[in-house]
Amino acid sequence: MNTLQRILALAVKELLAILRDKKSRFVLIGPPIAQLIVFGYAATFDLNDIPLAVYNEDRSAPSRDLVARIAGSPHFHQVSTIDHDEQIVSLINNREALLVLHLGPRFSEYLKRGKPAIAQVIIDGRNSNTALLTLGYLRTIITDFNITWGREHGKPPPPATLKIRPWYNENLLSRWFIVPGIVGLLALVITTVVTGLSVAREREAGTFDQLLVTPMRPVEILIGKSAPGIVIGLVEGTFILLMAVYWFEVPLRGSLGALYLGMFLFLLSAVGIGLMISSLAVTQQQGILGAFLFLFPAVILSGFATPIANMPEFVQQLTLINPMRYFLVILRGVFLEGDSYGLLFNQYWPMVLIAIATLAIAGWLFRHRMN
């Protein structure tokens, strides 16, 4: 048998070992699909139906107009109307309302006399991101109100006005940002776990020794063991990609080839890491633990949900060895910004380095264990 045949035989055997067990097969297919759909809808920063309580002591036409503009916006949902100060605390504390809008008794009087009329809002800051977004929505509504009011009452508009236009994601939909990320997230989880256990499982069953006495060279074992992870990753990655485009309707604006090159390099580095974990682990439990220890930080420190630029300097340095970081830029670049190979070059080469390094270490560990 030549090298190629031997590798192929091992790769087929590896795939069969994973796919023949009914439960393992289900684990590889069922949960990723369910997760893609659930997370695609769940993972959103966009707020709607924010519970709002109104405390309007003024009750004149302008104050009612302002309240109607806020309560009528799709972001807010008025859950209660109050008439005492004391009611505010329990509404906010018990999370019945996320914010209370308070207009004092002289609101419209001040407005008419040209003094600043105060719209006080009390926001629950337990989720600071939600608090900031809520404040942003309110600011936009109040700025609109001010412009309309000024126009109707002959007041000059402000000397400068802002015209903010978001690019690439014109309506600022969180889903467009998160769903491409899920392609990377699930591909990483599946590949790492498939390869992370491949050596440990054989070592526990004692079949790894049998593999070692075959005429296969360590490099051939390495390639044969990598192949299933890459094949499964590519198949599932493609499936999730199709779902992102046809189910979630995220626009795919860039080059598909550039995306697949990225996915291949990404899977290669994930397989390298998985095999490294696997050859270090003596038992499957350690293999799983190792896979976890890698996955958890790799997901959170990848820019999947929170931007890398917000992290402290030393954590940012740490993310440089995380392959997911680069793949996320590729995914979002190709999906939303319409990127092609050229712009993504700086994302490709670090993944190549990571793949070479991890595969080399895994190969060395194989040989090391053999001696």
Positions in 95-124 near other proteins (CB under 8 A): 95, 98, 111, 114, 116-124
**Residue 135, both tokens:** 């404040």
201 binds other proteins (CB under 8 A): yes
Single residue of 106, 145, 239, 361 touching other proteins by CB under 8 A = 145
DSSP code at position 283: S
Of the pair 6, 325, the CB lying nearest other proteins is at 325
189 binds other proteins (CB under 8 A): yes
Of the pair 299, 357, the CB lying nearest other proteins is at 299
85 binds other proteins (CB under 8 A): no
Going from the C-alpha of 194 to that of each of 8, 87, 90, 96, 109, the distances in angstroms are 18, 55, 50, 45, 69
Q: 78 phi and psi, to 5 degrees? A: -75, 120
43 binds other proteins (CB under 8 A): yes
DSSP code at position 319: G
How many whole angstroms separate alpha carbon 145 and alpha carbon 65?
9
Single residue of 61, 162, 206, 213 touching other proteins by CB under 8 A = 162
Of the pair 13, 217, the CB lying nearest other proteins is at 13
321 binds other proteins (CB under 8 A): no
Cα(first)–Cα(last) distance of the chain, in Å? 24
Cβ contacts of 139 within 8 Å, gap of 6 or more:
none
177 binds other proteins (CB under 8 A): yes
Q: Which of 261, 280, 256 is nearest to 361 (CA)?
A: 280
Considering only residues 262 through 281, tell me which ones interact with other proteins, judged by CB under 8 A: none
Q: Please give the torsion angle defined by the CA atoms of residues 325, 330, 333 and 336, in that order, rounded to the nearest 10 degrees.
A: -100
Half-sphere exposure of 14 (CA within 13 A, CB side): 27
How many whole angstroms separate alpha carbon 347 and alpha carbon 323?
9
Single residue of 239, 260, 264, 292 touching other proteins by CB under 8 A = 292
How many whole angstroms separate alpha carbon 238 and alpha carbon 185?
13
Single residue of 74, 150, 251, 257 touching other proteins by CB under 8 A = 150
212 binds other proteins (CB under 8 A): no
Of the pair 159, 215, the CB lying nearest other proteins is at 159
31 binds other proteins (CB under 8 A): yes
Stretch that binds other proteins, among 6-14, 30-38, 221-229, 250-258 (CB under 8 A): 30-38
Single residue of 154, 159, 206, 215 touching other proteins by CB under 8 A = 159
Of the pair 32, 272, the CB lying nearest other proteins is at 32
How many whole angstroms separate alpha carbon 78 and alpha carbon 225?
58
> Cβ 63 to other proteins, closest distance in Å?
9
35 binds other proteins (CB under 8 A): yes
340 binds other proteins (CB under 8 A): no
User: Edge-to-edge, what's the strand order for the sheet holding 76-81?
Assistant: 76-81, 50-56, 99-103
